[in-house]
Structure 1
Amino acid sequence: MASVSRQQYRAAVEKMLANYRDAEPIETKQRLYRPVLIAHGWCAEVHRLAEAALKLLDLGYGHEATILLRTMFETTISLHWLYQKGEAGAEGVVTEGARQNRAAAEDMETAFAPPPDVIDAIKKTPVIQTEESRTFSKVMKQCDAIDPTKALYSIYRYLCRFAHPTAASADAFIEESMNPPHVRPTPKDRESMVEVTSAMCLLWAGRAFDEMLNGKPRKRFLRAVAKEVQLAPILPYIH
């Protein structure tokens, strides 16, 4: 199998972004629209993050673009999980959001004196945890549900190294080839990581969302792109 060049990944990303922008208005095949509404927002976010990453790359900020990749990848995983779980998944997303709001309200109440009406409004929201809300609260659980081999979670962990202050993020600005090591005014080149990760996310988020729509309008196009860059056309089903 021939390797895929950085230029091929870049071309695939640009092609998918253009196709998404030109897509017709969506028609859901779901009688319950909440999962589709959430999925639409996440799919749009993945595409906008990929577009932003390319713009940063072209301006010479490839290192800074890598910081967006973790969010892009996590959103892609959550979107595929939601597509598989449907209404139960959407309920889990909403419930986990309410749980986090309540926890934040309790912390704020302890730390300072926020307006009582704000705290009361948050605390009145019912929080009934479900299996899906517990899974949604942990990226690792979502990754493992989709891929028990932990390959997806390994990618997520790797990308976290650049989204947080870590040794890896600091090392980008250190030149170890000199003795003693010198500081660098600009980071080392990891630009190909932006294009590869963007291609994966646009493909898998796009296909997951497409599965929720009448006629799966982008399925043939996205499968063709997947073949061009030798990627799986869609993430595995949850069993």
Structure 2
Amino acid sequence: IDDTIKMLDDHLADVYHEVDCTRIALDPRFKNMDGSIGAVYYNFPHAGAAWVDLQPGQGHVTGFYDSHPIVNWRHENLMRLFFRNLRYFVKPGGLVKIASNMGAVGVRYSYILGSAEQNEFQHVETVPFLEWSLHRYGRAYGDRRDKKKRPGDGQGYNAQKAESDMVYTFEYRPSGRELPIQEIKFPPTFQTIMGCNDGPFKNLDPVSAKALARQLHERFIKEVSGIHVG
């Protein structure tokens, strides 16, 4: 990654770190860039693992599969807010290309296509990722796990075959009309989380389960309120 960033710097590219793609419109680094971007690429979007610190300073992945209803809403919101933010910066006719596995259960293809349509990005093409010029991309988890390891060897990720990776292309075709406020999915209530008995809650004693549920609920409320959580 460091070598790639250096190469970009050598070619006079502007490299921004820690960009929250759901809040680009509020990022001061993008000030005065309205309607100026002609192409956006997002490879294998993922909302990241829901980390909690049951013991201070010891981050822990909660252990839910991406498809689990306790956490899946995060992936749908990622796409909805991503496309809504792009409306401020992508010029009419600009392209957005998103690479994702057709069998992904976190950011599902329906979330990508549906969110694009809601925000006037017209789907124009789908091609296999391996046929794309940027197919040598190496995946990342998108959270603190990347500091220690990266997923697989580029051939698979969470049992997803590389042959099923696709690139969805959208063209921004704004109608000029004012769109309604972007709808988002809300997180489960504390009571709903407390009622969960699988994933990380399996075999937990009542006190530990309540502590985990409280931390998860507090984290989810921050996320849905627009507070970035690493």
TM (norm. structure 1) is: 0.23
Q: Which has the larger radius of gyration?
A: 1
Would you tell me which structure has more strand in proportion to its own residues? 2
TM (norm. structure 2) is: 0.24
